[in-house]
Structure 1
């Protein structure tokens, strides 16, 4: 080795030793709102030292990862709907989440086939009624078809994903023929054309246009904290314990998956496991009045406000796969007409 070469090698080694170690990181693609996710991301980085590079997308998450192919930097996908995460799994852009902690905390029906995605939080779709005009405290989804509710029932569009998921669950329990009859019976009970949003049905209960409606639980929580007219909507309603006749409560979920070509797979697992822990479940679930998937979290805001829910045993992956058939039945029944 010449003196010049030896000096060059020494200089290079000195530079490498002087350079700071590269910080660990994990790349997150998500369709969640930044305000809901940033607090738990910040807590994860503080507790683990792993930086989260978050890409917030309104839509097209799966398509972006597909377009990026094997060079995609995505490690974790986090979305707000079971249909969306199942579509990603069906498209082949996820891989199994292999974790003993996931196996312990997340019930089988709240995971994808082969653990290709897992639930982080739950939101239930339940029945609300007029606090003044309806006295019962519990109901089944099947009971909504009772003619005693004729002209008193309000609901947003049957083709909205919240409702196609519910009707898909009904399809899983009862089959196509009974589901079509159910949809026609619900339609016959409506006080107005299906439409608007979930909070609008609470408004319409207050006005007296309807006595009974379907809503996602987190909207109840958000209205309870409102400082505008929505506080009055909240005060006019009463949530009912809502289940299938031979099952539990229908839930949708926020869910996570590890990307197929994740370059930081180990950190991806760490992020998902962290989000299942009690501290993170409080931060993440309470931010939007969602129910923790971790059963050890007893004091979540949604549980305090509405009580605990027992998710239906029908696998969410099956509900996601039945959505197209449920949507077709909604049209066949003329539900939104």
Structure 2
């Protein structure tokens, strides 16, 4: 595969204390290498600055903490407000006050202390059966309506994607309402929460449930999955509903970036961050990951546009993130992962 050859030639495994040339920038990433490589290739072509990537599927913050002042990390790329907050609270980021970045990235997708910046968003939407769900509008609140009893599928309630949504419900309605809502949602489940967002789509296609919660980008992944073409059939059986399109808007989460605390190549790191906030980079990134650019005026890909129009919730993600712990506690309190009580 051509991309694999490119990655083999360009990717470098990093280690603490390693020496790097002035013309490089070192990236610690929670995002899969193949998703960010086109971006990095474009950055190197434009600036001449080489990129080195260390991909981790967990433990990124702990890695940088252990490396301390000798850490080669310059830029952190990650997904989810929880991981961005974790990096800040873990003391592995530093503030960046940059006119270009602040101009491109709306304030609601930036940390108030300039410790992290959003790059793309994904909606937490409803996957609905084309055959069994007539309506084309829905709200999150409605998911607790008994009319959906036995018809909803969902992954683990403690998964960060769901905790983000539940935290947004607390932010909008308060903890008491959200506890009752979670109980109603739990009682409408077709089974115990399990699987991934994609497996919820599979369950809809199989007739095991009528609606499910899932991220928008998985729809794009399934639509274009030539290696597992059965996933294309799952998508054909469902439609995407954007909850609360008629009022506050759909809950979104972000992928984002941060400047590492001890960045040895700080100037190059900031050049990369400025590049990532630009329109060309935003559109490359959004197309690669089937997400929405945060830069106003930057366009999502044709695949993403095919899902329909998203109206994002305007509440700043920092206001949502502060309720994540409480949301997690409520999931346990109502026994959400035990599934329906009947």
Residue in structure 1 matched with residue 267 of structure 2 by the alignment: 266
| CA distance in structure 1 between the partners assigned to 2:174 and 2:23 by the alignment | 49
Report the more deviating stretch, 157-166 or 107-116.
107-116
| CA distance in structure 2 between the partners assigned to 1:151 and 1:289 by the alignment | 31
Residue in structure 1 matched with residue 196 of structure 2 by the alignment: 197
Structure 1 vs Structure 2 CA RMSD: 1.6
Residue in structure 2 matched with residue 127 of structure 1 by the alignment: 126
Residue in structure 2 matched with residue 296 of structure 1 by the alignment: 297
Shift in Å, 1:300: 2.1
Residue in structure 1 matched with residue 67 of structure 2 by the alignment: 68
5 Å-filtered alignment, 1:152-301, equals 152-227=151-226, 228-243=229-244, 246-301=247-302
Residue in structure 1 matched with residue 92 of structure 2 by the alignment: 93
| CA distance in structure 2 between the partners assigned to 1:53 and 1:165 by the alignment | 31
5 Å-filtered alignment, 1:134-149, equals 134-149=133-148
Residue in structure 1 matched with residue 11 of structure 2 by the alignment: none
Shift in Å, 1:245: 7.2
Q: Secondary structure at the match of 2:323?
A: helix
CA deviation profile, 1:280-315 (whole Å, cap 9, x unmatched):
122211112111112222252454222342321222
Residue in structure 1 matched with residue 332 of structure 2 by the alignment: 331
Q: Determine if contact 1:131/1:237 at 8 Å carries over to the other structure.
A: yes
Q: Secondary structure at the match of 1:104?
A: helix
| CA distance in structure 2 between the partners assigned to 1:299 and 1:207 by the alignment | 30
Report the more deviating stretch, 116-125 or 50-59.
50-59
| CA distance in structure 1 between the partners assigned to 2:57 and 2:243 by the alignment | 31
5 Å-filtered alignment, 1:12-51, equals 23-51=22-50
The verdict on how the C-alpha distance between 1:35 and 1:29 changes in structure 2, with shifts beyond 3 A counting, is same
Q: Determine if contact 1:142/1:244 at 8 Å carries over to the other structure.
A: no
- TM-score normalised by L of structure 1: 0.89
Q: Determine if contact 1:290/1:302 at 8 Å carries over to the other structure.
A: no
* Runs of at least 5 residues in structure 2 that lack an aligned partner in the other structure: 1-20
- TM-score normalised by L of structure 2: 0.88
| CA distance in structure 1 between the partners assigned to 2:70 and 2:150 by the alignment | 55
Report the structure number with the largest CA radius of gyration. 1
| CA distance in structure 1 between the partners assigned to 2:302 and 2:92 by the alignment | 34
Higher helix residue share:
1
CA deviation profile, 1:223-258 (whole Å, cap 9, x unmatched):
111342111110000111223774221111111001
Q: Secondary structure at the match of 1:78?
A: strand
* Runs of at least 5 residues in structure 1 that lack an aligned partner in the other structure: 1-21
Shift in Å, 1:23: 4.8
